[in-house]
Amino acid sequence: MIKRCIVFGCVLLLSLTGAAEAKMLGFGLSAFYGVNIPLVQDDAESGPIYGLRAPLQMTGSLRLEPWFSMATIGDYDLVTPISGTTTFEGGDITSFGLNALLGSPFNGPGFSIAFLGGIGSHKMERENADTDTRVGYNLGVDMGIGLGSLPLSLSARGEGLVIPLDGGGSRKSALVTGALTYKFGK
């Protein structure tokens, strides 16, 4: 876990350095919480997801966003004719990555909408299973509203996440989150 935090910190610092050279227009810190909904998976149920994002406004319509999240996959029941119902622990996913968003800036008053795409590293841990770290890809939409003259905004986000596995399969999830973002600077 410490290694991941160090890597996330390095990615954030590199992003801030690159953003300063590209005449970054603003940056913020966003805390989010929501639900991770596994799609087409018999061995997982929905669970919470939470984390931090660091939106960096690069131009009027481009935003870069390093992020870190932790999600819990809900416990699931396996029903067999011989043993009946057995409950298995769902597990945890610890992730970090970078999103690119195109659309309204996060730091303006009023309504904003942006489309996003990203890449991340996802460490999947389950009881009685090997820990597995994979690269995953996400696409989605972010809708927010600025809170007047305050440096705060609220947003809701819907994302699709795909984590490819060996043998051609993948883990697919829908992520639905709400966030509170604080904008630093002007």
Residue 6 neighbours by CB distance under 10 Å: 10
Mean pLDDT of the chain: 83
The beta strand positions in 61-167, using DSSP E, are: 62-73, 76-80, 84-88, 91-103, 110-125, 132-146, 152-164
Higher pLDDT, 17 or 49: 49
Q: Give the position of tokens 């970078």.
A: 98
Predicted pLDDT of residue 116? 96
Integer CA distances (angstroms), 182 to 44, 52, 55, 71, 151, in order: 34, 11, 10, 23, 6
> Which pair of tokens denotes residue 149?
């003259």
- Domains of the chain, with CATH numbers? 2-184 (2.40.160.20)
Which residue, among 24, 13, 6, 8, has the nearest Cα to 185 in the 3D structure? 24
Predicted pLDDT of residue 127? 76
Residue 1 has pLDDT above 60, yes or no: no
Residue 53 neighbours by CB distance under 10 Å: 23
**What's the predicted TM-score (pTM) here?**
0.79
* Candidate ranges 1-5, 78-82, 95-99, 110-114; pick with highest mean pLDDT: 95-99
Q: Give the position of tokens 């990203």.
A: 118
Residue 73 has pLDDT above 70, yes or no: yes
* Candidate ranges 17-26, 56-65, 124-133; pick with highest mean pLDDT: 56-65
pLDDT category at 34 given cuts 50, 70, 90 is: very high
Which residue, among 30, 22, 29, 28, has the nearest Cα to 58 in the 3D structure? 22
> Which pair of tokens denotes residue 160?
């699709």
Per-residue model confidence as pLDDT tens digits over 20-33 = 444 567 889 999 99
Predicted pLDDT of residue 11? 57
